Amino acid sequence: MSHPFPGLEALIPADAVLEKLADGATWGEGPVCLEDGAVLWSDIPGNRVLRWHPQDGSSAALQPSHFHNGHTRDEGGRLYACSHGERAVLRSDDAGQSWQPVATHHAGKRLNSPNDVVVARDGGVWFSDPPYGLIQPREGYGGQQEQPVCRVYRLDPETGEVEAKVSDMLWPNGLAFSPDEATLYVTDTSRTHDLVGHHHIRAYPVAANGVGEGRVFAVVSPGMPDGIRTDEHGHLWSSSGSGLQVFAPDGRKLGEVPAPEAITNLTFSHLEPFLYVTGSDSLYRLAVSVRGARF
C-alpha cells in the first residue's frame, strides 16, 4: 500500500487523513491549542474567535473579537493574539477569557495591523505588521497607516520596548523559528493585492536578538504561504492555495497534503501528535509523526 502523501512518509502516518473538525468561518486563521485540549481559531471577517473541543464541539469563544488574526502561546501557557481592530498584540493570562494590549506603537506611531506572532524561548514576542486591517473593510476598522513600511518587530519581555527587526519585506505575514531559533522564517503575502508582489518565504539568521540579511527560502504556489510552523527536525510546514506544503531545512519541497480549500494557518499540538490546520472556512486535524518546534 502506497503512502497517501508521497515524500512525507517519515512525517505523517500512512493511515492519516485530513479530518474536518468544524466549519462555518468566513475566513479561518490563527489556530492555537489550549491546555484542556481545546483549539481557538479566528474567523477574521466574522469578527469572532471560535473554539473547538473534542467533547464540546464548536462554539464562539469571543465575539466581537476586534478582528483577531494569529494566536500563539508561550512556554508558560499564556496566550498572545494579533488584533487587526485594536492594531495591537494582546496577551491573555486566563486561557482567552480576557485580553490586554502589550504592543500598540513603534517609535511613537501606531502599528498597522499585527498579523502573526511567535514567542521565543527567552520570552521575546515577535510579530508581523502588514496593513490588511487598514485596507480590507471586512478585516479591521480601517484608519491611517502610520508606520512608513511593514515590518517584523520584537517586543522585549523585560523593557516592553517594540524593536524593528525585519524591514526589507513588502507585506510580512506568517512567522516561525527553526528549532534552535537561529533562523527566523517569514512569509510575504504581498501578491494578494499586487500581481507583481511576493508569495515566498524568507529566512533570516538570528543571533543575540539581532537579525542578519535574509534570503528567499522557498516560493509557494499555488496561492500564498500564509501561516507556517516548523517541526522538531527543522522541516517547515506551510499553508498554500492547494493544501499543506512541507519543506526540508535546505528549502527542498518534500511533499504536500492536499486540501479541499485554501489553507491559511496551522499549529502543532503540544499535548498530542496532531497538527491543527485552518482553511478558508474550516478547522482540520492531521495525525503526524513529529512534534512541533514551537507552539
- 114 CB burial (10 A radius; 0-12, 13-18, 19+): buried
Tell me the CA end-to-end span of the chain in Å, nearest whole number. Answer: 33
Segment among 1-10, 34-43, 101-110, 233-242 with least mean pLDDT: 1-10
Mean pLDDT over residues 67-87, rounded?
A: 97
Q: Among residues of the chain, what percentage have pLDDT more than 70? A: 99
**What pLDDT score does 1 carry?**
66
Q: How confident is the model at residue 154 (pLDDT cuts 50, 70, 90)?
A: very high
SS3 content of the chain, % helix, strand, coil (to 5): 5, 45, 50
Q: Tell me, rounded to whole angstroms, the distance of Cα 139 from its chain centroid.
A: 16
Residue 54 above 70 pLDDT?
yes
Q: How confident is the model at residue 294 (pLDDT cuts 50, 70, 90)?
A: confident
Q: Where are the domains of the chain?
A: 20-287
pTM of the model: 0.97
**What pLDDT score does 69 carry?**
98
List of residues 6+ apart from 132 with CB closer than 8 A = 69, 84, 113, 115, 139, 140, 171
Kindly state the cell numbers that stand for 62.
469571543
Kindly state the cell numbers that stand for 113.
495591523
Buried b (16+ CB within 10 A) or exposed e, 9-37: eebbbeebebeebbeebebbbbbbbbeee
In terms of phi and psi (left: phi > 0; alpha: psi -120 to 50; beta: otherwise), the region of 260 is: alpha
Q: How confident is the model at residue 293 (pLDDT cuts 50, 70, 90)?
A: very high
What is the CATH code for 20-287? 2.120.10.30
